[in-house]
Structure 1
Amino acid sequence: MRRLALVTGLAALALLSGCGRDGNESAGGNIATQTDNGGEFVVPDGTIGNGAGGIDNGSVESADTVKLAARGLRIGDAGGGDRLIAFDTPRADTLGAVRGALGEQIGVSHNDQCGAGPMDMAEFPGGLTLYFLDGRFAGWDVAPEGGGTFTTPSGIGIGSTLKAMREKASVDVQANSSLGVEFNTGGLSGLVASDTPTGTVTRLWAGNSCIFR
């Protein structure tokens, strides 16, 4: 049983392989992490994407924060508001919004082996990687090597403990995952160092992300 190797930068993307949709196992034995609409860590206020997964209310050039959400990414603006960049948003709109907050991507890649279909990937400072399927935002992944401090609106991110997560929402833990100790909560998935209350989050992802099992 092969385990995910957490390595830096685009080298990590080269190790990522196919995944299916909707949490179902693909023929190659890989599993998608697909979001739902009930993410406990998503804050419902602020401007959200429209029904087609787009962005409304104009430019996000003043964005200064990026928060992780089960249905995409939340971009904060200088006025203290935020909006949801929802999964299925066109790639150009997604990249424009995230660049407004984080600057230019530091790497791009393509993987034909994803079970959900060929994916394009854009890596941003801080360990955030965005996944695009058929030209639309499909998922995100945060790795610890980037040294970023990305969190959900409620403060869950790399380094958070299982105890802290369980104080905010229900958390399902799979201690015998081929990746290690895996968890899911409200559409967010990831890895923790152990299944004890003090076990800390070592990786986070949501949506369709190619993680080889």
Structure 2
Amino acid sequence: MMAMRAFLPILSLAALAACNGQEEAAPVNDAVEAPAAAETTTAETSPAETSQASNSGPVLLSGKGIGWGSGADKVRLAFGSSRDTIDTALTAHFGAAPETLVMGECGAGPMESSSYPGGLILNYQNGELVGWFLDGSSERVALEGGLGIGVSGDRVAALAGFAPVEESTLGEEFYSEADGLGGFIEEGKVASLYAGTTCFFR
């Protein structure tokens, strides 16, 4: 399992694995289900479609789920999609199976995660995708809409709908209710991003 960034040791996978402290839901959306988009595809995505993830550009993240491809090859998997479907597709995309972790005590209930190269962690409950966390930069992972790791805090502050999370215990945190997307800023730049249900150790 890859390590989280040093600036948020409380978000490290080691801390998550321990889960011995008092754990609370994220102040804005730890247990919020992002609204499904009309174009999203759920667990019924075919094997042929999921295999396209290996050669269809970066994995695309949004406040509604994940996806890949564009045009006729566009696939979008909303929160609630099957873990088997996603892990199969992303194993082909990254060329290796994910590292996995069981998080027995989260504010939203027990969760499991799959970690991929580039700092991407996908969170699951009952075999379904419920959230993601990103704290690395990779050409294999991108955010829809242009926001990403390394973007300036000033640019984030100028985005419509984004606002700071007051009194966050995890650092300089921001969130957009409209987009279902949040993150953390370090030294004036976006250091990590998240969407959906999380298991932050606060």
Q: Which of the five TM-score ranges fits, normalised by the shorter chain? A: 0.7 to 0.9
Q: CA deviation at 1:11?
A: 3.1
Residues 33 and 207 in structure 1, CA contact (< 8 A), matched pair in contact too: yes
Q: How many residues matched?
A: 187
The percentage of counterpart residues that share the same residue type is: 28
SS in 2 for 1:61: helix
TM (normalized to structure 1)?
0.73
Match of 1:90 among 78, 82, 93: 82
Q: CA deviation at 1:96?
A: 1.7
- Who is 1:189 aligned against? 182
Q: Any idea what the Cα deviations from partners look like across 1:100-127, whole Å, max 9, x if unmatched?
A: 3223234111011112221111110111
Give runs of aligned pairs for residues 1-213 of structure 1, distance below 5 A.
4-5=8-9, 10-11=13-14, 13-14=16-17, 18-20=23-25, 23=28, 32=30, 34-37=32-35, 48-49=40-41, 53-56=42-45, 58-63=48-53, 64=56, 65-76=58-69, 81-144=73-136, 147-149=137-139, 150-174=141-165, 176-185=167-176, 186-193=179-186, 199-213=188-202
SS in 1 for 2:108: coil
Structure 2 Cα separation of the partners of residues 19 and 172 of structure 1: 21
Residues 89 and 136 in structure 1, CA contact (< 8 A), matched pair in contact too: yes
For the structure 1 residues 154 and 99, does the alpha-carbon distance in structure 2 shift closer, same or farther, using more than 3 Å as the test? same
SS in 2 for 1:62: helix
Q: Any idea what the Cα deviations from partners look like across 1:119-146, whole Å, max 9, x if unmatched?
A: 11111011101111011111111123xx
Structure 2 Cα separation of the partners of residues 188 and 209 of structure 1: 12
Structure 1 Cα separation of the partners of residues 100 and 115 of structure 2: 6
For the structure 1 residues 60 and 127, does the alpha-carbon distance in structure 2 shift closer, same or farther, using more than 3 Å as the test? same
Unpaired runs of at least 5, structure 2: 1-6
Q: Any idea what the Cα deviations from partners look like across 1:68-108, whole Å, max 9, x if unmatched?
A: 1101112126x774221111111101212222322323411
Q: Which has the higher helix share?
A: 2
Residues 104 and 111 in structure 2, CA contact (< 8 A), matched pair in contact too: yes
Residues 48 and 56 in structure 1, CA contact (< 8 A), matched pair in contact too: no
SS in 2 for 1:60: helix
For the structure 1 residues 137 and 167, does the alpha-carbon distance in structure 2 shift closer, same or farther, using more than 3 Å as the test? same
SS in 2 for 1:100: helix
RMSD over aligned Cα atoms? 3.0
Unpaired runs of at least 5, structure 1: 24-30
